[in-house]
Structure 1
Amino acid sequence: MNAIGKILPVDGYEVVMDEQPSIDFNASLTHFYQPLIGIQAVSLYYTLFYEVDHTRQIQTHHTLMTYLNLSLDDIYRARIKLEAIGLLKTYKRREESRDYYTYRIQRPFSPDQFLREAMLSQLLLHHIGEQKYHALHTRYAKETYPYGEEVTADFNDVFDTVTPPKSAAGNHIEMEEQHMASDVMDFSWIEQSLRQRFIPVENVLHPANKKLIYQMKTLYDAESAEIEKALFWALDEDNQLNEEEFKSACHDMFVSRNNGQTIQLNDKMAASDVQPEVKKPSTKEEQLIHELETISPKQLLEDLSDGNRAPEQDIKVVREVMTKQGLPAPVMNVLIHYVLLQSNMKLSKAYMETIAGHWSRVGLKTAKEAMDFAKREQEKYKAAKNKPQKKNNYNNNYKKEVVPDWFNTRKKKSSKTAADTNVSEKEQQEIEAKLQKYLNES
């Protein structure tokens, strides 16, 4: 499973827990779980565990990145390991174009319970070696005493209700374990083999043994014939299954089948992250997309600066936008390239944040998706810009209707004043002419 882009820094999360772990759960996580799932997964478990009562507010995954000092891909891998080992359950919902996760913390097995789980204990044995395993077993395993035959009263033997329950609590747990094993594995072929050898089926295929057989088949990826062979090898003279001999037989067959290699947990996510051989890009656009998919934003800025060192301010802007909006590096590269082309090679923070918010809501993951989306948006913009504008058809009557009455009144008064002014000027000219004539005659 590829971990890249599975979660974003802006995705929210909350942590809940149904029941408190046992008092020695720290020993379980450190000595039993950590060798199997690694320190990063255990650190994530502790971080989520102590956030249960800290706050019930929705937080972003950027908080986890800060606490753990891990990339989002590493956090996702750690989360998947916790889920697979039974320490975490994850629920996802989508609201307002954002993903929200609920992490339900699961109580780890106590050391004694862990050692009683056949598959987990076998894995631990092969990871840490026999010497360390036996030291842990001696320290934490509880001794079992021969109590004798259980004669505990059943619920139905003591109480009576209107609708009697089908079974008591203890029997219900056994039925659940039996159903769990039978639902995922078909035991009919073992039953048939037992009957052919006249071995009582109920002596061998009771719920505890079914669970053990299923776990060993899963752990060692064993074929049905191998499980059957190991099962009959481990039956004693009373047709009882010896658990340790059955485990050893399954392990020996696994080693023999794999040329002496012992069993180890393989990280499928890490293996799937190795990208297959990619076809060499042929066109210029494919070459650009390939470059934007593989290069870092910092390197892109330096390349666009003719190999000079990228300005610290530009790097800071890119880092803030990328962190807040949770854009993958390839999409961020396309955004940088697009903004520089649109802004005359200037890295405008406000412009970049606006586009980044849009792209984040759309959910772009790859450089090709970002480039195609940017092209479509640009074409929409050009089409809207070139669309002929609708002319406003205002007629003269409309103009006349909107002219207020007070304007016409004022216009009439102004005309009258102007007429009065013209008469005064004419009289003034006549007076000046008479005065000039008088001066000349004198």
Structure 2
Amino acid sequence: MNVIGKILPIDGYNVVMDKQPPLDFNASLTHLYQPLIGIQAISLYYTLFYEVGHVQKVQTHHTLMTYLNLTLDDIYRARIKLEAIGLLKTYKRTEDGRDYYTYNVQCPYSPNQFFREAMLSQLLLHHIGELKYNELYSRYVKDSHLYGEEVTADFNEVFDTITPSLPVAENVKTKRQCTEKDSMDFSWIEQTLKQRFIPAERILNSANKKLIHQMKVLYDIESVDIEKALLWALDEDNKLNQEEFKSACHDMFISRNNGQSIRLKEKITANTEVIMKKPETKEEQLIQELETISPKQLLEDLSDGNHASEQDIKVVREVMTRQGLPAPVMNVLIHYVLLQSNMKLSKAYMETIAGHWSRVGLKSAKEAMSFAKQEQEKYKSAKNKPRKNNNYNYNNSYKKEVVPDWFNNRKKKQPVNTGLSEKEQQEIEAKLQKYLNES
């Protein structure tokens, strides 16, 4: 990640905090957060935290460099780690040609809350190992089973949402809500559960949806694999065992990444201008769409916004599951098959192509689109060649490359050593010919 020049020593900053942290926040920072984001980020957090309410005037980032004995690039790296983990919010304004930052320090989770956050707790487990994790868990988490079975009501069980009266409120969503709802197609999972006569409303409550989304983000696994993990983790009463679900997601990650463990690391990004470049051609627009939408949404879009048929969804799910194709590649396959089959979704045709694409190892919509074009060009070229020439060339090349010498020579007459002289051999052949003529 390019961090050079993101902030300057003369840039000003001030620090605010909206609420007080929990009493045991120090334990959270040192034992739970620090293994994930490192000591430099934690040092920056403490420095900013103890400036809240004590330093009123705007300071420069040179002050932070002095306090922390870090370069400005290291301070920036530490800052964005705090932002990413949820410990800091940053605001920027420009006045008189100079940049000013407001750092809003966020409260860390208490240890008990931290272990209840599936994504954070799973990350900690992978970073420090199971032995140390269990030690910290037993130290900080109170056993809720001592209180009895939890019967706390879920939000959706008690309340119904209503359409807001103020038009402006319709577009108001928090960043977390947008991320969780928009990036996960729960209707796809819901249909799978209903087809198996499993009560979807019991499994897809708000807590489980949050967990499902977090595991998808953490392990970067496809919706098809999420589906498998979900079905694996259901108990005999069709309730989701969250720990089993986490383990199943982790096992899938390990199997797909050759045993590599999961750890937080900084992203290595290309030039921002290239990443943010808008598609210029219709093909680029199509590829971008196929990279981001779900197969179900694609089927609906191709049906002029109508609901995709359950039969089509079932076909797509079975092919996608059996061949292990990523969603973007599956989208290209759907689009290709519909165009080639007069907008009919032929399962046999789709499975044939899917098997080929799976063996090739296509991972993105762009790769799949390019590969489909290449195959189409090969087909057209072969079709346009005269068949006679094709057969001739094929037979000759096959004969030269495959057929062994002994096979080619098997019909040639070989001299046989009979022990007779040439004159005697001629006499025998003459008698044989005379016999054939008389008979």
Give yes or no for TM over 0.5. Answer: yes
Paired AA for residue 247 in structure 1: K
Output aligned runs, 1:140-219, within 5 Å. 140-144=140-144, 145-147=147-149, 149-150=151-152, 181-219=180-218
- Structure 1 residue 179, shift from structure 2 partner: 6.8
Letter in structure 2 aligned against 1:18: D
For residues 9 and 76 of structure 2, the distance between their equivalents in structure 1, rounded to whole angstroms, comes to: 11
Distance 2:175 2:72 in 1: 37
- 1:116 is aligned with what amino acid? R
Superposed, which structure 2 residues align to 1:312-391 within 5 Å?
A: none
Superposition deviation, residue 147 in structure 1:
5.0
- In 2, the alpha carbon distance for the partners of 1:108 and 1:88 equals 10
Matched, 1:23 2:23: yes
What is the distance in 2 between the residues matched to 1:210 and 1:84?
21
How far apart are the structure 2 equivalents of 1:251 and 1:116? 17
Is 1:177–1:211's contact at 8 Å kept on the other side of the alignment? no
1:254 corresponding residue in structure 2: 253
Distance 2:132 2:115 in 1: 13
Amino acid at match of 2:238: N
3-state SS in 2 of match to 1:137: helix
Measured against aligned partners, the alpha-carbon deviations of 1:152-204 in whole angstroms (never above 9, x if no partner) come to: 9x9x99xxxxx9x99xxxxxxxx998776324322111011111111111111
Q: Aligned equivalents of 2:176 and 2:11: distance in 1?
A: 36
> What is the alpha-carbon distance in structure 1 between the residues aligned to residue 176 and residue 43 of structure 2?
31
Q: In structure 1, how many angstroms separate the alpha carbons of the residues matched to 2:179 and 2:110? A: 21
Give, in whole Å, the separation in 1 of the partners of 2:130 and 2:27: 19
Say whether the 8 Å CA contact 1:126–1:263 is kept in structure 2.
Answer: yes
Q: Cα gap change, 1:272/1:133 in structure 2, threshold over 3 Å: closer, same or farther?
A: farther
Q: Which runs of 4+ in 1 moved over 3 A?
A: 147-152, 175-180
**CA shift in 2, pair 1:40/1:178, >3 Å:** closer
Question: 1:37–1:194: structure 2 CA closer, same or farther, 3 Å change rule?
Answer: same
Match of 1:137 in 2: 137
* Larger RCO, structure (CA 8 Å, separation 6 or more): 1
- The Cα shift of 1:55 comes to 1.0
Write the distance in 1 (CA, Å) between the matches of 2:29 and 2:258: 32
Residues 67-106 of structure 1 mapped to structure 2, 5 A cutoff = 67-106=67-106
The unaligned stretches of length 5 or more in structure 2 are: 166-173, 272-439
Whether the 8 Å CA contact 1:178–1:210 is kept in 2: the answer is no
Q: Is the 8 A contact 1:28 1:111 kept in 2?
A: yes
Aligned amino acid, residue 121 of structure 1 = S
Equivalenced residues, count: 258
CA distance in 2, matches of 1:83, 1:176: 13
Q: Structure 1 length as normaliser, TM-score?
A: 0.55
CA distance in 2, matches of 1:57, 1:34: 30
Contact kept? 1:40, 1:78, Cα under 8 Å: yes
Structure 1 residue 212, shift from structure 2 partner:
0.2
What SS does structure 2 have at the residue aligned with 1:135? Answer: helix
- Deviation string 1:50-86 (CA, Å, 9 cap, x unpaired) is 0012112100000000000000000000000000000
One-letter amino acid matched to 1:95: E
Any idea what the Cα deviations from partners look like across 1:372-429, whole Å, max 9, x if unmatched? xxxxxxxxxxxxxxxxxxxxxxxxxxxxxxxxxxxxxxxxxxxxxxxxxxxxxxxxxx
Partner of 2:241: 242
**Partner letter of residue 54 of structure 2?**
H
Structure 1: which 5+ residue stretches go unaligned?
158-162, 167-174, 274-442
C-alpha distance in 2, partners of 1:84/1:40?
Answer: 15
Please identify the structure whose Cα radius of gyration is greater: 1
Determine the C-alpha separation between the residues in 2 that align with 1:150 and 1:82. Answer: 32
SS at match of 1:268: coil
Cα 1:123/1:259, change in 2 over 3 Å: same
Going from structure 1 to structure 2, the CA distance change for 1:148 and 1:60 (only over 3 Å counts) comes to closer
The CA deviation string for residues 347-368 of structure 1, in whole angstroms up to 9 with x for no partner, is: xxxxxxxxxxxxxxxxxxxxxx
Q: Match of 2:66, SS?
A: helix
The one-letter code sitting in structure 2 at the alignment partner of 1:187 is F
Q: SS of the counterpart of 1:132?
A: helix
The Cα shift of 1:149 comes to 3.7
**Aligned equivalents of 1:263, 1:13: Cα separation in 2:** 35
Give the secondary-structure state (helix, strand or coil) at the position aligned to 1:52: coil
Q: 1:24 to 1:4 in 2, by over 3 A?
A: same
CA deviations over 1:28-68 (Å, ceiling 9, x no partner): 00000000000000000000000012112100000000000
Give the aligned partner of residue 45 of structure 2: 45
Deviation at 1:107, TM superposition (A): 0.3
Secondary structure in 1 matching 2:92: strand
Give, in angstroms, the shift of residue 272 of structure 1.
Answer: 6.7
